[in-house]
Structures are given as structure tokens and as C-alpha cells.
Amino acid sequence: MNIYLLQIINGVGIGMLYFLLAVGLSIVFGLLRFVNFAHGAFYLLGAYFCFQMTRWGLSFWLALLVVPLVVGALGWLTEKLMLRHVYATAHEFHILVTVGLALAVQELVILQWGPLGDSVAVPDILQGVVMWGSFVYPKYRLFVIAFTAVLAVLLWYLLEGTRLGSAVRAGSESTEMVSLLGINVFRIFSLVFALGAATAALAGVLAAPIRGAEPFMGVEALGVAFVVVVVGGMGSFSGALLGGLLIGVVQSVMSTLWPEGARLMIYIAMATVLLLRPHGLLGRKE
Amino acid sequence: MKKHTLLILALAVVLVMPVLMHSGSLASEVLIFGLAAMGCNLLLGFTGLLSFGQGIFFGLGSYTVALTLTRWPLPMPLALALAMVTGGLGAALVGWIAIRQKGTYFVMLTLAFAQMFYFIAYTATGLTGGDNGLLDIPRPSITAFGQTLWPLTSPWQFYGFVALIFLVAFWLLLRVSRSTFGRTLLAVRDNEERAGAIGYNLKLLKLQAFVISGAVTGLAGALHAMMIGIAPLANAEYHTSEMILVMTVIGGTGNLFASVLGSAFYLLLADWLSALWPRWLLLLGMVLMAVSLWMQRGLWGLGEKLWHLRQGKHGQIRDQTTVQGNKT
């Protein structure tokens, strides 16, 4: 089979994970107007909680359900106890408080699980590969693509088809207007931040069997999520999807063409998009 | 505040450290990162630009001095000057692109450039040594007419050299921050629209601030590489950018001496705690959160508050950096 076709399909698999990682960051930015540097920390927690649960002998599927809820609750608490108190201050402190949080979480993870990485086993049903003529692909990765695709549809419905979703989108336009209409904006802030944390954790759980869990994956994921969101357009759901797929494919194809430069290429792709379309491919101009 | 107070404080720090501290390297490091934090402060505290790209300029300085001292044997002062030039040029490039954006987009762009620089440094092994870094950087003595004036072999000899550079840079940056240019930067920080409406060229002002910041940070990176004898890839990592930023914020923004406090706080805490407890960064993360939540003017702001309380002055504490005579 054509190696590039395989790499493109691989890239779609990576890209869907990148989408899941970035979409929370993007929605949180759209509504709360700040970049959550602790987003990678929630992803990190997702991967390690999954590792811990499988080590306790619990099933991966239970982790896939429980971990996002737990981390989402942590996100909800973070917004309520910390972020709420910096909204009134200068913009830098919104970012800095999450930088502090990310550092603290990373160190807590090392404290609890050690500085070296741990691996998470692929669940039994999904072990092995799918063969389809000359097409060979790991079952688990196919599952990740299908699962994130379903999630993407659900998230899209949540944002576009529900009352909460319209409040979130309206809040992205004008927070004052929404609160004047009698909607408790702070509750929406908490919910959206929790949703962002939960999606990041979900990406962490899904990534754990592929790349294991290690303490510095949070920083790395944060960098990737930034790239995706900037390429796609801040605050845009479809932008996160397009950006995720694009970056995933670029990285995957480049890893055959120029392995050392694969990571460099995604940052070059980002700089190019920013120079040509400063608000991202699908972002709105402010 | 009296005109020379900050300069006297800086001199006091330089003189007191050799008395109180055992390690000349640690003392040099405090001043070196103090320089880098001042560069960051000029952007964050004086111009309102939160840059995650300071590691680029720090790394550029390290690599420049390493290359010039090992491969093309240039005189050491010239190598340091060249490090400032590459730091400033790097900052001009990053600044030129990043200042097209404001707020969050600007922050993310600086971070993207920091990541990009890291991967460039990692990939260009011929120039940077990749993962290994550049090794065996000499620390040549200062000579004139064949006479050795100032050998830099021992840590404390090197400290003296760093201290001299630090004091000159501190004095120059202080002058810059108090000049019309510095005051205009404060106007940009406090109200960008208004400064633009008055007719200031915002982009040029920001770019100039970037170049100065990059040159100072490049100098710091060069001195750091000379101190440890290598230019490691770590100097170009996100972690370095973050560290410089954290020092600046913890010390307090908008006051140059506060950056030295931040650097000293960070490095002394690191030195003291890392032996006792390897996970001391956890504490640092918490300090950063606390500063962001409750003491946004950092250690310097806290000290000022305590000072005013002692003096029995209640009520509003004057922000030292707001533009004077700006009554509307």
C-alpha cells in the first residue's frame, strides 16, 4: 500500500486526538477570553488517572467514563475557587495563575507517580490490527478515530443545538449582553471550564494506550493544542477540527519525509497561517 | 522615590552577596538571571507585553558566545557584544511578527516562536550541537597590551566581572525606563488606544522595547554559557522562557530592581529546597498562583506595602511606575 496514504490515515488518527485536545482550549478562550495554560495539565491528569485505574485492575472503559467526569469536576473547582478571583485583574494574571497551576499539577504528578513514564495496555478487544486487503491498521487507532468522531458530533450538538450551547455562543459575542438577559454568566463560565477540562482529560485517556503516561506530556500537549487552535482559529469549533486534522496529517506525512523536522514543520505551518491569516483558517476577525 | 535609591539597592545586592553566600556561581547566576528578568520586565512591566519567548534570546546569546569563543577565536568582550546583537536581532524578528497581534494572540505567538526556536536548535546540530549543546566554552581573562588585568578562572573572579556588567546594564536600563521613551512605553501599557490616538507609533515603540529586551537577555544568556562552560539545549527550551517570566512576575512588574529580587528569590529557593525536596517546583507553582491572586505587584509590592505600614501611612500606595503629571 502507498506509504503516503497510510501516513495520511495515521495523520487523521492523530489529528482527531489533537482536535479533542484543542477544542476545550478553544471554547474556553471563546467565552472567557484567556488562554488556559493549565489545559495540558488536565490532559496529563487524564492520562495518569487512566493509568492508575487500570493498575487497580479496573477496566479501561470505566476509566474512559469516570476520568473525564473527575477531571471535569476538578476544572469546575478550579474556575470557582481560583479563576473567578482574577477576572477583574489585568489580562496577564489570568494566564499566569494557570501557568502556576500547570506547574503545580505537573510536580504533583511526579510526586505521586515518579518522573519516569508508565505504559497503559490497550484493552483486549482492541488489540491487534485490522486487515482489509493490503490495508493494515491498528484496531485501537481505528477506535480512537470513530470514538472522537462521535464525540465531535455530540459536542457540536451541545454547542449548536442546546440552550446551554446558545448561551455559550452568545457569551462569546458579548458577556454583558448575556448577563443582562438574565442568564447567570458565572455558572456558564464554570460549566464551560469544566467541559474544557473534561475533554482534555478524555484526550489524555485515549492517548494513554498509544503513548503511555509521562509527566511532561502536559507541556507538550499544550504546545500542540496552541498550534491547532491558532491554525484553526481561536474560539471556533470547526476550526479546531480542521486545525487538528491538518496538523495531524502534516506531522504524520513529514515524519516519513523528514523525521527530525516533523515537529518543527507544525510550528512552521502555524507561523505561515498566522502571517497569511492572522485569525486562523476559520476564525472570526475581532 | 529618590533618584538613586534603586541603583544603591542594586549596588548593595552586588556587595552583600559575596559576604553572605558561599557559592560564587550561585551569586553570578542571581545577577545573570536578574539581567534576563529585567529584559522581560521591560516588556511586561513597562510595555504590557507578556512574552513567552525570552528563552529564544537567552539561547541565542548562549549559542553566539559559544560559537565565537570556540570556533572563531574572537576577543571575549567582542563575543559578548555579538551575543547582544544576535539577541537583539532575534527579538527584532520575533517582535516584528508578534506585535502585529494583541493580547492573547500576541502571547501565543511568542510561545509558538519559542517552540519553533527550540526545534530549530534541536535540528541544526551543526551549529548548536543539538541535544548535546556546545561544550568547552573557555573563560578567557581580560587582557590589555599583553597584561592580564582580570583573570576569570575562579567563580568569585567571574562574579566580579558579571557584577560589573550587571551594574552598568542596570544603570542603563534605569535611564532608559526613566527617559521620555520609557515613559511613553508606560503610556502604551496603561492605555494603548489613547497612546496611539495621541500619535505615537505603537509598533515602533514595541519593537524598540523588544530589541532592548532581546539584547539584555542575549547578554544574560552569553554570561550564563560562559559561567557553566557549555551552551546547553536547555537554554533554548520553553522551561527557560517560563523561568525568566516567573522570576519577573514573582519579583514584581514595573520596577527593575524587583526583577533582581525575583531572580534571587527563585534561585536561592531552588538552591536551598532542591537539596531538601526535589519537587520544590510544586511550591513555586503555588507561589506563582498566590502572586497572581493576591499580590500582583510581586515581592517588591509586598515589601512596599509593609514599609508603608511601618511608616504608618495608610490608604492608597502610589504606583511607582504610573506616568507622572498625567492628570486628566
**Residue A156: CATH number of its domain:** 1.10.3470
Residue from the list A82, A219, A223 with its beta carbon closest to the beta carbon of B289: A82
By residue range, what is the domain housing residue B97?
5-310
> Chain B: nearest CA to A115, how far in angstroms?
10
Q: How far is C-alpha A257 from the chain's CA centre?
A: 27
Domain count, chain A: 1
The verdict on residue B321 lying in a domain is no
Interface with B, mutate which of A28, A31, A267, A276 (most B CBs under 10 A): A267
The verdict on residue A282 lying in a domain is no
Best CA proximity match to B253, nearest among B310, B194, B319, B204: B319
- Single-letter amino acid, residue A138: P
Residue from the list A92, A104, A267 with its beta carbon closest to the beta carbon of B50: A92
d(CA A286, CA B224): 42
By residue range, what is the domain housing residue A133?
3-276
Confidence of residue B328 (pLDDT cuts 50, 70, 90): very low
The verdict on residue A76 lying in a domain is yes
CB–CB of B111 and A226 under 8 A?
A: yes
pLDDT at A62: 94
d(CA B129, CA A36): 34
What percent of chain B has a predicted confidence (pLDDT) above 70?
95
- Quote the cell numbers at residue A237: 469549533
The verdict on residue A168 lying in a domain is yes
The verdict on residue A20 lying in a domain is yes
- Quote the cell numbers at residue A82: 481560583
CB–CB of B289 and A223 under 8 A?
A: no
Q: Is A225 on the interface with B (CB under 8 A)?
A: no
Best CA proximity match to A213, nearest among A107, A106, A119: A119
> Chain B: nearest CA to A49, how far in angstroms?
19
The verdict on residue B59 lying in a domain is yes
**Residue B92 pLDDT greater than 50, yes or no:** yes
Q: What is the mean pLDDT of residues A199-222?
A: 92
Tell me the C-alpha to C-alpha distance, in Å, between residue B96 and each of B93, B100, B179, B211: 5, 7, 23, 10
Residue from the list A82, A105, A261 with its beta carbon closest to the beta carbon of B123: A261
CB A60 within 8 A of CB A209: yes
**Residue B1 pLDDT greater than 70, yes or no:** no
Q: How many CB atoms lie within 10 A of CB B71?
A: 10
Q: Is A91 on the interface with B (CB under 8 A)?
A: yes
d(CA A91, CA A96): 9
The DSSP bridge pattern shows strands B142-144 and A135-138 to be unpaired
CB–CB of B119 and A264 under 8 A?
A: yes
d(CA B87, CA B73): 20
> HSE on the CB side for B107, CA within 13 Å?
22
Tell me if residue B139 falls in helix, strand or coil. Answer: coil
Interface with B, mutate which of A172, A274, A285 (most B CBs under 10 A): A274
> Is the sign of the CA dihedral B268, A216, A228, A200 positive or negative?
negative
> HSE on the CB side for B247, CA within 13 Å?
34
CB–CB of A96 and B291 under 8 A?
A: yes
Looking up residue B253, the CATH number of its domain turns out to be 1.10.3470
- Single-letter amino acid, residue A65: L
Q: Which residues neighbour B307 within 8 Å (Cβ) at sequence distance 6 or greater? A: none
Angle between helices A91-113 and B281-294 (to 10 degrees): 160
The verdict on residue B242 lying in a domain is yes
Burial of residue A150, with CB atoms counted within 10 A of its CB: 0-12 exposed, 13-18 middle, 19 or more buried: exposed
d(CA A52, CA A281): 39
The verdict on residue A159 lying in a domain is yes
**Residue A93 pLDDT greater than 60, yes or no:** yes
Residue from the list B101, B107, B281 with its beta carbon closest to the beta carbon of A103: B281
- Quote the cell numbers at residue A228: 491547532
pLDDT in tens, B239-296: 899 899 989 999 998 889 999 999 999 999 888 888 888 788 888 888 889 888 888 8
The verdict on residue B128 lying in a domain is yes
Q: How many CB atoms lie within 10 A of CB B247?
A: 29
The verdict on residue B13 lying in a domain is yes
The verdict on residue B62 lying in a domain is yes
Whole-prediction pTM:
0.86
Best CA proximity match to A101, nearest among A67, A74, A66, A63: A74
Backbone phi, psi, residue A127, to 5° = -75, 155
The verdict on residue A56 lying in a domain is yes
Confidence of residue B2 (pLDDT cuts 50, 70, 90): low
- Quote the cell numbers at residue A138: 491498528
Domain count, chain B: 1
CB B57 within 8 A of CB B91: yes
**Residue B103 pLDDT greater than 80, yes or no:** no
The verdict on residue B170 lying in a domain is yes
**Residue B312 pLDDT greater than 80, yes or no:** no
d(CA B91, CA B94): 5
The verdict on residue B120 lying in a domain is yes
pLDDT at B81: 95
Q: What is the mean pLDDT of residues A31-48?
A: 91
ipTM of the complex model: 0.84
d(CA A65, CA A86): 32
Confidence of residue A31 (pLDDT cuts 50, 70, 90): confident
pLDDT at B137: 86
Q: How many CB pairs under 8 A join A and B?
A: 114
The DSSP bridge pattern shows strands B147-150 and A129-132 to be unpaired
d(CA B263, CA B37): 7
Q: What is the DSSP letter of A2?
A: -
